[in-house]
Amino acid sequence: MPTTCRSCCCSVRSGQQVLMCCVCCDLVHLRCLPVSYEEANVLASQSQWECVLCLAKKSQEEEEQLIRYAREQWMNERLDDLVGQVMALQQEQDNVGHYLSECSSALRDQSRQMDELEKTVEDLHELSKKNSSSCWTEDIQPDPPTPIGRRRSLDSLKPKQRKMTLHNLGTSSRTDSHKTHSMPKMSMSLGVLISQLIIMECS
């Protein structure tokens, strides 16, 4: 325990009015304090007294504590602000992701529609080619001949022969032989002529 006054460095004697700091336990004469006599008596009546140094230190600590508290408060506010910005950015990112998902879905739908349209166009093109080829084939190939038309066609291909009868056989033979001098005269029997006429009529 100190026995000297911290202010005047004098030894403390019995009967002197002194104050002892409750923090650092230093002794200070009442007369050494820069206060009035009444204020000194008030200080002496206090059960706990703190010296100037301890008060200054305490004030400094309180000030530092206040500064630290203010700094923590500012950091908390700043952190809350940053958290709010991050949440807003996250929400915006989610909205952008949702929008991109919708755009991707729309693009897939359009791509599927384009594929369907291309397939439809290809089918129509193939159908058009088939129709054009079938029309061209129908134009080229003639209609199947009917029995009458077939007979007429065959008749048109046969050399035209002049029908002869027994009545005008001699006359026509003489006329044809007279007109075409290159044909030799032939003597035919009546049976041969009749058989030739029958063959010509049947053909």
Per-residue pLDDT reduced to its tens digit, 59-80:
888 889 999 999 999 999 999 9
- φ, ψ (nearest 5 deg) of residue 56: -65, -45
% of the chain at pLDDT higher than 90: 21
* Mean of per-residue pLDDT scores for the chain: 73
The model's pLDDT over 15-40, given as tens digits with 9 standing for 90+, comes to 666 777 777 777 776 777 776 777 77
Is residue 10 included in any domain, yes or no? yes
Tokens encoding 85? 């910005």
Is residue 79 included in any domain, yes or no? yes
Tokens encoding 27? 């002794």
Is residue 27 included in any domain, yes or no? yes
The CA distance from 125 to 128, in Å, is: 5
The pTM assigned to this predicted structure is 0.37
Question: By CB neighbour count within 10 A (0-12 exposed, 13-18 middle, 19+ buried), where does 23 fall?
Answer: middle
The CA distance from 201 to 203, in Å, is: 5
The CA distance from 54 to 49, in Å, is: 10
Same domain, 63 and 25: no
Is residue 175 included in any domain, yes or no? no
Helix (H, G, I), strand (E, B) or coil at 28: strand
Domain of residue 13, residue span: 1-50
Would you say 39 and 17 are in contact if contact means Cβ atoms under 8 Å apart?
no
Residue 151: per-residue pLDDT = 55
